Amino acid sequence: MGAGGAESRHEGGVSSFHHPGCFTYRSDPVRIVFGAGAVAALRQETNFHKMSRLVVLCSKSRAEFARRVTGAIADRCVGFCETAGQTMPRDAFERIVDDLARLDADGFIVVGGGSPIGLAKAAAATTKIPYIAIVTTYSGSEMAARWYIGVAENRVSGESAQALPATAIYDPELTLDLPPRISAASGMNAMAHAVESLYGIDTNPVVETLAEEAVRLLGSSLPRVVRDPRDLAARSDALYGAWLAANFRAAVGLEHAIAQRVRQWFSLDHAQTHAIATPYAIGFNAEAAPAAMARIKRALGVDDAARGLYDLNVRLGLPTGFRDLGMGEADIGKAVEVVAAAKITHPKPVTKADLLNIIAQAYAGAPPRF
């Protein structure tokens, strides 16, 4: 279970809560520093965690940006590792682990979104060296204890609280230059976490409250971000909504199973694959999870949860079908096979015939029909 997780007592695989009672909520020990200018707290956070020899991890494309935002602790930085990439390649993992050992680091800083942070999680879980995450997208990866390296059949994964950052810094000013299309896709990736958590078998009233507010904030702020990427208030709402969405990760449901496996097997963009899959997963589950649908509809101000999420993708200018990302129609059968191999915990059982229908719809990109 991810950071900010919850455990609920239930029978028959599906928990049902109508009032705050009979549940356990567990929050993982990640310090959060949030707000415009929050990156100024970086030195204070390194002092708090007694970090004096730091490596900075980032992607090559964001190296100059990373050097700028970590300038306040330049005297403590013993190296920069510009190796992060989209698919968590093993050679990138080996590079950061080697740098941490060779430079005798007692901590590291990761700057960026899901890919750099994913690499940081794998490195921290393996080396037990703590890190601070400076978060610049809406993926929420920093709040999930799950980590992995490699893709498809070569993937190695794990789950450990040591994969989580010692501190996560959320400064909306650092997101102002994130391009609208990337912002929209990243925000809908966060939306996927929120809506699927609403009907996860391990949900509870705390999670439901956080997730509904995340849906509301993301649904209202993302169109404003796309319209004016430098709208700081919209950026703040989107980043806060993404953090709320990241605070809990339900056991793997349909959306996550489809998006993660399809994008790995067919090399599709991570965030956009989640954005596409979400309306179809919600549509399939609508009848089996009426309370979750009611929360989504209320948060988005729509009459139909699945169509509301689909229309939001359209409004944000995002692709609505996997074919728009480069997946071929001939790949649908293989996609069904790889998704069917996942363990999907769900209010509604999913057959291979269901998966074929769902994935075929998600491939074509028309409004969901269930």
Class of domain 38-170: alpha beta
Domain ranges of the chain: 6-27+188-364, 38-170
Structure-token match 């096979």, residue found: 337
Structure-model confidence comparison of residues 151 and 255, the more confident one: 255
Q: What is the pLDDT of residue 151?
A: 60
Once rounded to an integer, what is the mean pLDDT over residues 285-306?
Answer: 97
**Mean pLDDT confidence for 114-137:** 95
* Largest pairwise CA distance in the chain: 59
What kind of fold does domain 6-27+188-364 have according to CATH?
Dehydroquinate synthase-like, alpha domain (1.20.1090)
**Other Cβ atoms closer than 10 A to 302:** 16
Report the alpha-carbon angle 229-232-233, nearest 5.
115
CA 232 to chain centroid, in Å, comes to 21
- The residues facing 135 across adjacent strands are 112, 170
Give the global pTM. 0.89
The dihedrals phi and psi of 87, each to the nearest 5 degrees, come to -105, 20
Read off the pLDDT of residues 54-98 as tens digits, 9 standing for 90 and up.
Answer: 999 999 889 999 999 999 999 999 999 988 666 567 888 999 999
pLDDT in tens, 137-194: 999 999 988 887 866 556 677 888 999 999 999 999 999 999 999 999 999 999 999 9
Give the torsion through C-alpha atoms of 115, 119, 124, 127, to 10 deg. -170
**Taking Cα atoms as reference points, which of 249, 250, 200, 222 lies closest to residue 312?**
222
- For 267, left (φ over 0), alpha (ψ -120 to 50), or beta? left
DSSP secondary structure of 214-228: HHHHHHHHHHHHHH-
